[in-house]
Amino acid sequence: MGVTAYGRVDFDFTVVTDNWRFLAEGVGVTLLLSLASGAASLVAGLVLALLRLRGPRWLRPAIVFYIDSMRAIPVLVVLVWTFFALPMVAGVTMSPFMAGLIGLTAHLAAYAAEIVRAGIESVRPGQTRAALALGMSHAQILRRIVLPQALVRTLPAFGSLLSVTIKDTAIASVIAVPELMRRSETVAGQSFQPIEVYTFAMLVYFVLLYPVTRGVDRFYRRVAHLGRS
Amino acid sequence: MTFDWSVVWRYRDALALGTATTFLLTIATMAIAVPCGIVVASLRLYGAAPLRTFATAYVELFRNLPLILVVYWAFYVLPIVTGVGLSAFATGLAALSLNVTAYNAETFRAGINSIRRGQLEAALALGMTRTQALRRIVVPQALRRVLPVLASTWVSLFKDTSLVSVIAVGELAYVSMQARAQTFRVLEMLTAMAVIYWLLGYPQAKLVDWIERRYVVTE
């Protein structure tokens, strides 16, 4: 890379093409981590929200505390603690990817739980009362009346959360998860061409993320009517 | 394995300094990103076509990039593009500001759009220029409406300052991890870091909840 004068640079993107397989594997790990933690946090969030709203009363403060704590602590701190400190406390060893998965899921589940809770609470209580009057059990009401409507309404928020998930996988680079960010750092460090490598990484992340938000918008517009009441 | 929690007390000065730096970063970023967000939102809503495209592209770009990547990119690119060697703090501040401005622009765009168009039209009918109308009528009302979202952005920003630790800015996360490296007291320092963030962040999150309840706007 030649820096010829203030503000003028010769770009040499062969560093990207030479390392494309290494970087592409990083994209794979990014996607895997995003989807895995996204799915896991979705399930965990659903469970947490249901436990909070319909579960035993004594459990509620604990769940609220957990959710509010994850709102207060940065993702970086959660990931670093999970990778370095948790093994000391729990006596387990884990790979960076596993630590990243656990940390991200724990963090995102709190947000997912809030999204599900908002969705469930947005369904009019009259629906529940009508279903009870018809003799349905609470479990049936949840499963057949409330959750279908609630979950459709949460789609935009979950789209946003998926976008956040993909962005947060980049933070997992600090605990050496071999995803795109980390691999970009490696290539940039070895080649001394950080501008080209990081610009390429920016391009990849943008191409990954932009369709997610747009796609969710479009999909939601088609199914939004299912959530109205 | 023995744990030595006194190391946290011994490093209390460094941790306090790190906390102060975190707050400084948050405040400085918001001080830059709120006005800039208003400007970008105005450009996007009322600007000439090329300005509008620029503003939209800017917002879409920074909303779809991980902040940590922007931090690294700023660290390597800004000195070359601007020709000046920026301190790590300034670079971190620049990256954070770029990112938060984009989010604020969206927030203000929604806020300004939520003010009834009739207000703007009435102001224009009274002979104000568009800038005057925005500055004196629309934006003050929009500010009140977007306060809950801004508060929420503030809390997110407070947490995101931890990311500039990767370029060795001496905020709380960096200081904690330096202390960990120096003392090898991994669990103690990392737990202390988490607890301090929790002590700082939990009240802020609760404050945001209160602001949301207090400033909810129903029309």
Q: Which residues of A touch B194 (CB under 8 A)?
A: 73, 77-78, 81
Chain segment A158-181, per-residue pLDDT in tens: 998 999 999 999 999 999 999 999
pLDDT at A1: 43
Would you call A2 helix, strand, or coil by DSSP? strand
What's the angle, vertex CA B84, arms to CA B80 and CA B89, rounded to 5?
Answer: 100
pLDDT at B219: 61
Tell me which residues of chain B have a C-beta less than 8 Å from any C-beta of chain A.
Answer: 1, 60-61, 63-70, 72-73, 76-77, 80-83, 155, 159-160, 162-163, 165-166, 173, 177, 180, 186-187, 190-191, 193-194, 197-198, 200-202, 204-206
Q: Which of A72, A73, A198 shows the shortest C-beta gap to B72?
A: A198
DSSP secondary structure letter of residue B166: G
Helix axes B186-214, B139-160, angle to 10 degrees: 170
Class for the domain spanning B6-214: mainly alpha
Query: One-letter amino acid identity for A116?
Result: V
Would you call B66 helix, strand, or coil by DSSP? coil
Residue B38 tokens read as 């208003």
Assign domain A16-110+154-224 to its CATH architecture: Orthogonal Bundle (1.10)
pLDDT at B209: 86
pLDDT at B26: 96
> A69 CA to chain B: closest CA distance, Å?
6
Residue A163 to residues A16, A32, A55, B42, B104: CA-CA distances in angstroms?
A: 25, 14, 30, 26, 17
Chain segment A3-48, per-residue pLDDT in tens: 444 444 567 788 888 888 899 999 999 999 999 999 999 999 999 9
Chain segment A183-228, per-residue pLDDT in tens: 999 999 898 888 889 999 999 999 999 998 788 878 878 877 777 7
The residue among B65, B167, B189, B199 with the most chain A CBs within 10 A of its CB, best to mutate, is B65
Average pLDDT over residues A122-126: 88
Q: Which residues of B touch A9 (CB under 8 A)?
A: 80
Would you call A98 helix, strand, or coil by DSSP? helix
pLDDT at A222: 82
Answer yes or no: do B198 and A73 touch at CB < 8 A: yes
Cα torsion A41, B209, B198, A60 to 10°: value is: -60
Would you call A188 helix, strand, or coil by DSSP? helix
pLDDT at B84: 82
Its pTM stands at 0.89
pLDDT at B1: 66
Tell me which residues of chain A have a C-beta less than 8 Å from any C-beta of chain B.
Answer: 3, 6-7, 9, 68-69, 71-78, 80-81, 84-85, 88-89, 163, 166-171, 173-174, 181, 184-185, 188, 194-195, 198-199, 201-202, 205-206, 209-210, 213
DSSP secondary structure letter of residue A129: H
- Residue found under tokens 């954070």: B96
pLDDT at B85: 82
Chain segment A48-97, per-residue pLDDT in tens: 999 999 889 999 999 999 999 998 999 999 999 999 999 988 888 999 99
The whole-angstrom distance between residue A45's C-alpha and the CA centroid of its chain comes to: 11
Local mean pLDDT, 10-residue blocks, chain B (219 residues): 82 92 96 95 91 94 94 89 86 95 94 89 91 88 89 94 94 93 90 94 89 77
Q: Which of A69, A78, A85 shows the shortest C-beta gap to B186?
A: A85
The answer to whether B15 and B170 have CB atoms below 8 angstroms apart is no
* End-to-end Cα separation, chain B, in angstroms: 60
Burial B96-110 (b: 16+ CB within 10 A, else e): bbbbbbbbbbbbbbe
Q: What element of type H or E holds A90?
A: helix A86-90
The answer to whether B142 and B115 have CB atoms below 8 angstroms apart is yes
The answer to whether B93 and B29 have CB atoms below 8 angstroms apart is yes
CB within 8 Å of A210: residues ≥ 6 apart: B60, B64
- Residue found under tokens 């980049």: A170
What's the CA gap between A19 and A204, in Å, rounded? 14
pLDDT at A28: 95
What's the CA gap between A181 and A183, in Å, rounded? 5
Neighbours of A224 (CB within 10 A): 13
- Residue found under tokens 């800015």: B169
The answer to whether A62 and A197 have CB atoms below 8 angstroms apart is no
